[in-house]
Amino acid sequence: MSDSRETQRPGSRGPGSRVPRAALAVGAAVVIGAAATVTVAAWPDATGRPTGPAEAAWSEGAPSESARSDAKAAAPSSPGVSARPVTGPARSVPLVREQRPVGGQGWRPLASTRVVVAAGSEHALADEGRLLAGELGKRYAQGVAARPGDVELVLGAPGVAGVSRTPESYTVTTGDGRVRITGGDEAGVFYGTRTLKQAVRSGGGLTEGVLRDAPAKPRRGFALDTARKHFDAEWIEDRIREMGDLKLNEFGLHFSDDQGFRIASASHPEIVSESHLTHAEVRRIVALAASRHIRVIPEIDSPGHLGAVIAAHPDLQLRSVSGKPSRGAVDIANPKAARIVDELFAEYARLFRGTYWHLGGDEYRALTVDDPEATYPRLAREAKRKYGPRARVQDLATGWLNDRAAVIAGHGKTDVRAWNDGYFAGGVVDAPKSREVAYWTGKEIGARKPLEYLREGRRVLNVNDEYLYYVLGEPNTFRYPTGRRIYEEWHPRVLRGGEAVPARYDAQITGGQFAVWCDLHGAQTQDQVARGIRLPLFATAQKLWDPKKPALDWEGFKELAGEVE
């Protein structure tokens, strides 16, 4: 039960409470007049139009009626509330998409500052309020009126003019010595607190006026291969916290592959690697992610990349007509293979919250040869038995993924995706259009270009291995991605290589995901990985939030990244 008492957050001051740096203005983002008014319109894309979920509500040029109303509400604060004025736009990563400052002292945290959750929002926003209070080293209160110096969090606020109800959107209104953060949902309010926290770190506070922000893409992710290399729970939790501050909302956990199986299993303990996460650690990671509005998406890759399962069950391994074993691939004509995978699904569906699941589906060895039917006649016979005389091995593989999707849907996981090389053209069995395509490469045998999936009406997640793959040891043609290259060259429509698909398909591209793969697991330590992915992850977060050319050049963005941490 909520109450209106004021509380002090327990514990020592964390990194969020360090002394703010001096305010810094970004000349490219604002035009600061000598008197009072600064106007920043939504930055346009290549067509000159604002983009993203808030597009309909935002316009360039003169402020809208709601913006004028908000600016009036954010009138200059009372003299003396802030000892030194705060000027310039909020400096945060991702960069704020629209800000309309007005004249005034701005807001800085004071000794008396509290983080206040407004009456009616206590149940929804208590976690967000307590987190921000702890980061700023300030008191937390709920259900009481905000006073000068306070930060107020409000969910929805339908009576406030101009507050967007778009999911993950937020509005920050600064004036009269107060900051009010409102959001279209809880995630939006949380993102507003991230912007405020970073603005305090980078510039000391917020200029007066109205700030509106919303993401261009709904899926903004980071994926980690823990199968080939074990990462401890504390390291993963640190990445979750970083993701939250960058407004990323998906954490992909690839914990099963040829080299290892990295989460404890009660149903099949024989397949688990010595170094692994316990169920308690996974629950802790999932809970932390939820508190940062991040969904954890588990992946048990099949029917390839099951080497850890095959090591304990060698009778499941796929063999060619000559008897040669196919690395990591199970024989999908063997019912036992499906039974074990489905039993693992049932176990882990209870461990992970939500409706999301990754089926894998990539690099099945039977489909990486020139003539699958001649090389794997047992699979060819089973395909014809199940799906008719025209069926081929690709149909049996598609049917396998369809069956696994049906099984996991029975456990409540209805938002599923698979790698692009798990979808095939010209077969008698097809994947449903509702299944998302995670497009990672166009280098495999029989590779299909991204446009083929888009023309079929499918939704596509961008995991372009030219830009978004951090592969330990740089095997084959992989090179460690740089933040600069992502920042300057990549955006969500660049799905394969450096080529962008036409803008008319933008709505089908759900977002993107930066991924760490541990092919040569000893090439880097955990700490080296964390340092290596830092700037690429910052850049990815920026381009998923706002794909347009950023207002800052790379050097300016890199400097900002150092200020907001």
- Measured distance CA(115)–CA(192) in Å, rounded: 13
The secondary element (H helix, E strand) that includes residue 513 is: strand 509-517
Q: How far is CA 514 from CA 7, 51, 295, 463, in A?
A: 39, 22, 15, 7
Nearest CA to 495 out of 473, 518, 462 is that of: 462
Measuring CA to CA, how many Å separate 231 from each of 19, 179, 225, 254, 521? 32, 39, 9, 11, 11
At 488, the amino acid letter reads E
Query: Going by C-beta distance under 8 Å and a sequence separation of 6 or more, which residues neighbour residue 523?
Result: 472, 473, 474
336 and 317 Cβ atoms separated by less than 8 Å: no
Spell out the residues 6+ positions from residue 177 whose beta carbon is closer than 8 angstroms to its own.
Answer: 77, 78, 81, 82, 107, 148, 149
DSSP structure class, residue 460: E
Residue 343 exposed, middle or buried by CB count within 10 Å (0-12, 13-18, 19+): middle
Alpha helices in 43-110 (DSSP H): 65-73
Assigned token pair, 262: 């990295």
Q: Are 140 and 3 in contact (CB under 8 A)?
A: no
Report the alpha-carbon distance of residue 489 to residue 549 in Å, rounded. 9
List C-alpha distances in Å: 540 to 247, 364, 450: 11, 29, 20
Burial of 68 (0-12, 13-18, 19+ CB in 10 A): middle
Active site (annotated) includes residue 489: no
DSSP run (H or E) holding 549: none
What's the one-letter identity of residue 235? W
Structure token digits, residue 464:
């372009």
Helix or strand (DSSP H, E) at 540: helix 526-545
Closest by Cα among 157, 103, 147 to 125 = 157
Identity of the residue numbered 144: V
Largest pairwise CA distance in the chain: 85
Specify the DSSP class assigned to residue 43: P
CB atoms within 10 A of CB 218: 14
Q: Considering 152, 363, 436, 466, which one is annotated as catalytic?
A: 363
* Amino acid identity at 19: V
Q: What residues are labeled active site?
A: 363
